[in-house]
Copies of this chain bind each other. A is one copy, B any other.
Amino acid sequence: MSRKSEKSRTTLLVLGTEPRPRLGRLTGRVRIAYADESTLAERLPSADVLLVWDFTSHAVRHAWPGEAPRPRWVHTASAGVDHLMCPELAASDTVVTNARGIFDQPIAEYVAALVLAMAKDLPRTWELQREREWRHRESQRVAGTRACVVGSGPIGRAIQRTLKALGVTTALVGRTSRAGVHGPEDLDRLMARADWVVCAAPLTPDTYGMFDARRFGTMQPSARFLNVGRGQLVVEDALAEALRKRWIAGAALDVFADEPLGPDSPLWEVPGLIVSPHMSGDTVGWRDELGAQFVELYEAWEAGEPLRNVVDKERGYVPGH
């Protein structure tokens, strides 16, 4: 009881103005304050808990107090934590948690949708339909092809499961080699024989720009590259060049170094490139799931129970198996 009443003075600061379903459950149990990018720095020192609901914002990085009072816990409604991590937050005793689990299956389905769409030449089918032109083509079988999925967290593993269910032989590459997961030393070899290279890695100093001209050069001319991780994992100019020079047969980007992609970006018209607006994980009800997940974590935190989804702040993700 004493713990509860102590916690009842908790201040929860929410960054972001998008709809926040399910948070109503916390009404009366916690003082809820709101911030946007301009007010975050001012309000952060008085918050016990920070909920980063607007996961597109980089404001936390800029506003994080050095030595001043700061939240004891930061939760982000996203799988990646790259948008909020900074040396001061990493060095502090503040706990960071993420939305691990919410996006796994949706993103895996999205990757399967893109793989199948490319194999079956659906983009060309839409183009021909616009032109009212009946043009039969041969398409490709997906079963029996090979994928290399980079990123061995829950999202990468869900992608592996889904592609395997479609008969695709799928290798997983993680930060270190372990049972069922290849280490980075195998990446070039696996990329060279893959029909599909799928990037679902967290963005960290180690992974920044890892898909560059050299790596695209190792791929087969018939292979395709997909990114559902973070934009900065890919050297976008190098990918555009690889597509223009037909080093590879196609690519799909759902994430970009600068989001939203502006109308002047040359990426919209790179031949063989499918551009989608960072939506791979966002299926109907996703905000409800994110809200419910935070409430569940909050209740554990309030009860003094250990938190799930705790991010290793040095590595930049939740360490798994």
Contact = CB atoms under 8 A, between A and B. Distances in A.
A137 to B, nearest CB: 6
Contact of A122 (B113, B141, B268): B113
A301 interface: no
Given A112-B166, A113-B116, A162-B166, A138 B268 contact: no
Contacts of A231: none
Contact of A129 (B109, B119, B268, B278): B268
Interface of A: 105-106, 109-110, 112-114, 116-117, 119-120, 122-123, 125-126, 128-129, 132-143, 162, 165-166, 259-263, 265, 268-269, 274-279, 282-284, 286
Nearest to A144: B105
B109 A166 contact: yes
Count this chain's copies in the assembly. 2
Contacts of A109: 116, 119-120, 141-143, 166
Given A134-B277, A138-B282, A141-B105, A122 B112 contact: no
Contacts of A126: 123, 126, 274
A131 B302 CA distance: 48
28 contacts: A106-B141, A109-B120, A110-B139, A112-B112, A113-B122, A114-B122, A117-B122, A122-B122, A125-B274, A125-B275, A125-B277, A128-B277, A129-B274, A129-B276, A132-B263, A132-B268, A133-B263, A134-B260, A134-B262, A134-B277, A137-B277, A137-B279, A138-B279, A138-B282, A139-B279, A139-B282, A139-B283, A165-B165
B136 A277 contact: yes
A169 to B, nearest CB: 15
